[in-house]
Amino acid sequence: MRNLTLLFIFLFALIFACRKDEIIDTKPSAKLEFSKDSILFDTVFTNSGSTNRVLKVFNRNKNSVILSSINLKGGNSSAFKININGVSSSTLSDIKIRGKDSIYVFVKAFINPDNKNSPFLVEDELNFTLNGKSKKIPLIAYGQNAVYFKDTYFTTNRTFTKDKPYLFFGEAVIGNLSTITIEHGARLYFHKGAKLFIAGSLRANGTLTDSITFSSDRLERIYYDEPGQWQGLHFLRTSYDNLMNYATVKNALVGIRVDSLSINTNPKLLLANSIIKNHEVAGVLGYTATITGINNLIYNCGQFLLIGLYGGDYKFYQNTFANFNYSFPRKSPSVYLSNNLEDKGNLNKALNATFTNNIIYGSLNRELEVNQIGNSQFSLNFQNNLIKTDQMSSWGLSNLFNTDPLFINSRKEEYKLEKTSLAIVKGQNLTSNIYYSNYLIKDLGGKTRIFPSTLGCFE
């Protein structure tokens, strides 16, 4: 008898709950709440959709409600698309939201191309109708036309301008007889997994006020500092006379990879006045490479800011290397050089490294490490640098060790130095350096450099 009573109570409760759920609030006073009062998309490339924006719709009422419609004002011709409960359409009807429950509306932007060079505004409205009353949620996106490349092999010389951005899918190759010239202000964006191989020559020459951008094609704020979004720039063995001046390279797996020594008296890559940041593995990676770096700011990478393996020739003057691990943990030094590859046994290459007037600093106790194996040529010349290390005896007496450079605010990416920094007026005189007139005479910010200079890229 007791069991029958319990069963009756359970069935009664279940039936009552079902009946309660069937009560639909049809009063005009019933209201919905929204997680946002508008939906804004950052720059969206034409022919390329955005990521989803999510709008949550709350029914705070005790009883269920039925929205008679959710629709885009622009209908099927709208630049926006919506999806609710797996259904995509410009208009959805009779959508039930239970009492004290909510639904998700996913919104995406797809913008048709036109002939405009500058970003342009695209607008629409998402309308919700409940019990005869309407609520409008504005939808706003900035569209941008682009020049598209997919798995492209450049066999002739070409110039990229700043009129429209360039968007790469897959792998692009600059052929070994070709030169790509990138003018100041040009923007090169790379879709997930995309990579640019340079077998010929890359001449990217920006200016202080109009630099060049190499970045992921995801321009939404949530992706602004996200590493590993594309593969990076890869300079191959046949490559020659590469210049990157006033460029920003960010958010790749490896920002810049250089594979060999120079085939002439110029460096394989001259990297000057550039910002290299937020790469998943390394900012700059060299394999027996010839790289000269001047006035660069290289910071916040998952493992290394600069890594040179299997020997090479590295010359770095007045650069700031800063790695504080704000986004991801790290166990590797900011700068690591070796004449060997870990899996190559006794196969060693000559290593020559000259570092003058740099800052090498970060969150680890050892931010600079050099590894020598065997008897191959091994020449290190480190002078007037600020270095964070637990191996002070390895680098020479002219360097500053374990002294906080006093960056203004590294969390906000402000790497100029406080006026009380001990790195001020500590630089070696570089007026006789072959790069003085073109690059060293001013700092990364365009300020005239006076020797003895401030260490790092900012005077």
- pLDDT at site 20: 47
> How many residues are given for the chain?
459
* HSE (side-chain half, CA atoms, 13 Å) at 297: 20
- pLDDT at site 114: 74
For the chain, the first-to-last Cα distance in angstroms comes to 91
* HSE (side-chain half, CA atoms, 13 Å) at 234: 15
* Cα dihedral value 423, 426, 432, 436, nearest 10: 20
109 pLDDT higher than 70: yes
Where exactly are the structural domains of the chain? 33-143, 146-440
Q: Are 49 and 109 in contact (CB under 8 A)?
A: yes
% of the chain beyond a pLDDT of 90: 68
Is the four-CA dihedral 80, 86, 88, 91 of positive or negative sign? negative
Task: Quick: pLDDT tens for 20-59.
Answer: 456 898 888 889 999 999 988 877 887 777 778 899 999 9
326 pLDDT higher than 70: yes
- In the predicted model, what is the mean pLDDT of residues 63-73? 91
Judge if pTM exceeds 0.95: no
Cα(261)–Cα(92) distance, integer angstroms = 62
Cα(169)–Cα(192) distance, integer angstroms = 8
Q: Which residue is it, tokens 């940041």? A: 277
Task: Quick: pLDDT tens for 172-205.
Answer: 999 999 999 999 999 999 999 999 999 999 999 9
325 pLDDT higher than 90: no
- pLDDT at site 292: 98
Task: Quick: pLDDT tens for 332-374.
Answer: 999 999 988 765 566 788 899 999 999 999 999 999 999 888 7
Per the model's pLDDT, the better-predicted residue between 154 and 89 turns out to be 154
Domain 33-143 is in which class? mainly beta
- Give a three-class secondary structure readout of the chain: CHHHHHHHHHHHHHHHHHHHHCCECCCCCCCCEECCCCEEEEEEECCCCCCCEEEEEEECCCCEEEEEEEEECCHHHCCEEEEECCEECCEEEEEEECCCEEEEEEEEECCCCCCCCCCEEEEEEEEEEECCEEEEEEEEEEEECCEEEECCEECCCEEECCCCCEEEECEEEECCCCEEEECCCCEEEECCCCEEEECCEEEEECCCCCCEEEEECCCCHHHCCCCCCECEEEECCCCCCEEEECEEEECECEEEEECCCCCCCCCCEEEECCEEECCCCEEEEEEEEEEEEECCEEECCCCEEEEEEEEEEEEEECCEEEECCCCCCCCCCCEEEECECCCCCCCECCEEEEEECCEEEECCCCCEEEECCCCCCEEEEEECCEECCCCHHHCCCCCEECCCCCEEEHHHCEEEECCCCCCCCCCCCCCCCCCHHHHHCECCCCCECCCCCCCCCCC
The band of 158, judged by pLDDT with boundaries at 50, 70 and 90, is very high
- pLDDT at site 247: 98
Task: Quick: pLDDT tens for 254-300.
Answer: 999 999 999 999 999 999 999 999 999 999 999 999 999 999 999 99
Task: Quick: pLDDT tens for 400-451.
Answer: 999 999 999 999 999 999 999 999 999 999 999 999 999 999 999 999 999 9
- pLDDT at site 342: 67
Cα(214)–Cα(191) distance, integer angstroms = 11
140 pLDDT higher than 90: no
